[in-house]
Amino acid sequence: MRDISGTARRSCGVVLPLFALRTADDWGIGEIAALPEAAAWAKEAGFSLLQILPPHELDPNETSPYGARTAFGLDAIYLRVPDVADLDDAAVATALGDEGRRELARVRGSERVDPRAVRALKSRVIDAAFDRFSSQELAHDTARAREYRAFVEAERAWLDRFALYDALREAHGGWGWETWPPEERDAARATAKGALEARAELARYTQWLLFGQWDRARRATNALGVALMGDLPFIVGNESADVWSHAGEFRRDLSLGAPPDEFSDEGQNWGLPAYDWAAMDANGLAWLRARARHAARLYDSFRIDHVVGFFRMWVRGPGAGAAKGTFLPEEPAAQRARGMKVLAAMRDAAAEGGARIIAEDLGVIPPMVRTSLRELGLPGYKIIPWEKDDASLVRDPRAFDPASVAAYSTHDTQPITAWWPELPALDQATLARYGGFEVGSADVDISLLGLLLAAGSDLALVLVTELVGVTDRINLPGTVGDHNWTYRLPAPVAELARDPALRARFARLREMAARAGRV
């Protein structure tokens, strides 16, 4: 019997953003090849799942993993350089130069990720690797060259357009496609010749390296008995390869957001396009199906962010109704039909690759959404401090529906290690009573994790900051700055695994997980 995560029934997992992972030889950021090491470390505490945030390619000026410029291509910032066969120490040293080697030492020792610096460093060595691959492998049609061409052919459905988009964007100084000449804004008419084709080949080569490392890391992670869970943003931005290559399937005249609520009289305007459902229906939701199949190629299960948007999108713009925005579709019956149709298609496409879908259904969610999710067999989330009954008392996690995901927090909230002192006294007392511990006890944070592991939900998720007992947060919504999306573990995983205090903490967690039937 398999649970909602794809692992054995009743399991627990760690939410570990890939960028936060640290290893002894990383380049200042977590790397794909380190996933098995992280999995082995988490397994010591009884955890059999790793959830990462979206690993897709970002613009050099973007840090949020939810702002990727592709729904398919991986970000080269996560490549492990020593595993690239086309590089050796001498080639890396030459590509970096003295200044680059000093910069590498700086980012390795930094307490936070410096994504711009890391990206620039890895770009240098990937360029050098591609030059060597072109002259020594492609030019001679070697076995590796044939492996590369086989990858390109297998991923052609998205890779060619992505590579051309990358080449054109580079040729235009990094400016978005809506500023390009008319013949290049039309993806069907755009072509790559000369320098453009060379740049496109570099983009394809980079993806080949990344997906090779990904496939090896996932196999090794699974071999440890640890499942890999991903996260799909609701949509991509206007200035993405996907909107450029499928422009007719997105409403760029509208802007997605969130309706007014008690925190915002005007609501939120995210500046993202809306889906053109009529156009997508005409081809059987092909892009969304492809996206779900692609996610199944990467993960054992994955979360769909902002799942309510597939039922109703809050949009502003010409013809969008009220000045503050409106829902599309407007009628509840149409909303339910839309969500059921889209999510059934994505669920079935993911199942073709053996992956399962989890729905992020947090926030203001109309009842028909959760009814629909149950009918579709898609579990939602239970964030313990937000789960209140009619008397505003925190619900007992032990009574949660098995077909759900229990957690104290998400990447957008404080970890419970920081949140606990801010909870109302009544909430603290109620949770302490459920968990059988004292509100002011010295080890309240691990007692709280014990209560989470005892939840009725088949899957319990713990933020990595909660796992190691620190109070750092990953993102503070509504703010922009280097404090967001740059968290790093306090030390390399190998060092953390040897730390006596953490080893004792992990032993307690493993005991709790076993007692809860999760090991």
Task: State the Cα–Cα distance between residues 132 and 152, nearest whole angstrom.
Answer: 19
CB burial of residue 481 (10 Å; 0-12, 13-18, 19+): exposed
> For the sheet containing 250-258, what is the strand order?
268-275, 250-258, 313-316, 326-328
pLDDT of residue 364: 87
Of 356, 454, 460, 361, which Cα lies nearest the Cα of 406? 460
Q: Each residue of 115-153: pLDDT tens digit?
A: 999 999 999 999 999 999 999 999 999 999 999 999 999
Q: What are all long-range contacts of 335-339, with beta carbons under 8 Å and residues at least 24 apart? A: 335/311, 335/366, 335/368, 336/311, 336/368, 336/372, 338/277, 338/310, 338/311, 338/312, 339/307, 339/308, 339/310, 339/311, 339/312, 339/369, 339/372
Query: Is 502:468 a contact under the CB 8 Å cutoff?
Result: yes
Distant-in-sequence, close-in-space partners of 428: CB < 8 Å, separation ≥ 6: 420, 439
Query: Is 452:407 a contact under the CB 8 Å cutoff?
Result: yes
Query: Is 272:255 a contact under the CB 8 Å cutoff?
Result: yes
Residue 349: HSE in the Cβ half-sphere, 13 Å Cα cutoff: 20
Residue 354 φ/ψ region, left for φ over 0, alpha for ψ in the -120 to 50 degree band, beta for the rest: left
pLDDT of residue 224: 98
Task: State the Cα–Cα distance between residues 78 and 18, nearest whole angstrom.
Answer: 8
Task: State the Cα–Cα distance between residues 217 and 38, nearest whole angstrom.
Answer: 11
Task: State the Cα–Cα distance between residues 86 and 148, nearest whole angstrom.
Answer: 13
Which residues of the chain, if any, have pLDDT below 70? Answer: 1-8, 263, 319-323
pLDDT of residue 264: 73
Task: State the Cα–Cα distance between residues 478 and 472, nearest whole angstrom.
Answer: 17
CB burial of residue 391 (10 Å; 0-12, 13-18, 19+): exposed
Task: State the Cα–Cα distance between residues 308 and 234, nearest whole angstrom.
Answer: 9
Tokens coding 91 = 């080639």
Angle (CA) 90 96 99, round 5°: 125
The dihedral sign for the CA sequence 386, 378, 333, 243: positive
Q: Each residue of 416-438: pLDDT tens digit?
A: 999 999 999 999 999 999 999 99
Task: State the Cα–Cα distance between residues 114 and 106, nearest whole angstrom.
Answer: 10
pLDDT of residue 1: 34
Its pTM surpasses 0.75: yes
Q: Domain residues of the chain, as ranges? A: 11-153+218-515
**What CATH topology corresponds to 11-153+218-515?**
TIM Barrel (3.20.20)
pLDDT of residue 8: 46
Of 496, 291, 358, which Cα lies nearest the Cα of 11? 358
